[in-house]
Amino acid sequence: MPLKQIKSKAGLTLVELMITIGIIGILGAVAFSMAASTVPRYNLRAEARELVINFKKAKLEAMKHRRNVVIQFTPAAGVQTGLYQVFVDNNGNGAYEAATDRHLIFQPMRQGVLLSNVTFTANRTWYTPQGMVTLAKTGNCEIQMSDGSNRYRLVLSTTGAVRVEASKDGGTTWTVQ
Cα(113)–Cα(132) distance, integer angstroms: 29
Is 107:81 a contact under the CB 8 Å cutoff?
A: no
Q: What are phi and psi of 149, to 5 degrees?
A: -70, -60
pLDDT tens, position by position, 61-89: 999 999 999 999 999 887 788 999 999 99
Tell me what pLDDT residue 1 has: 52
Count CB neighbours of 5 within 10 A.
Answer: 8
End-to-end distance of the chain based on CA atoms, in angstroms?
72
Q: What is the pLDDT of residue 5?
A: 55
State phi, psi for 49 to the nearest 5 degrees: -60, -45
Residue-level pLDDT at 9: 61
Confidence at residue 36, expressed as pLDDT on a 0 to 100 scale: 74
pLDDT range class, residue 12, cuts 50, 70, 90: confident
Q: In angstroms, rounded to a whole number, what is the distance separating the alpha carbons of residues 30 and 32? A: 5
Distance CA 102, CA 100 (A): 7
Query: SS3 helix, strand, coil % of the chain, rounded to 5?
Result: 35, 30, 35
pLDDT tens, residue by residue, 93-124: 888 998 899 999 999 998 889 999 999 999 99
Average pLDDT, rounded, for the chain: 88
SS3 137: helix
Give the pLDDT confidence of 32-54 residue by residue, as tens digits.
887 777 788 888 999 999 999 99
Selection from 102, 46, 105 nearest residue 73 by Cα: 105
Average pLDDT over residues 10-37: 84
Span 135-170, pLDDT tens digits: 788 999 999 988 888 999 999 998 899 999 999 988
pLDDT score for 112:
87
Nearest-angstrom CA–CA distance, 19 and 12:
11
pLDDT at position 123, please?
92
Given pLDDT bands bounded at 50, 70 and 90, which one contains residue 7? Answer: low
In Å, how far from its chain's centre is CA 13?
50
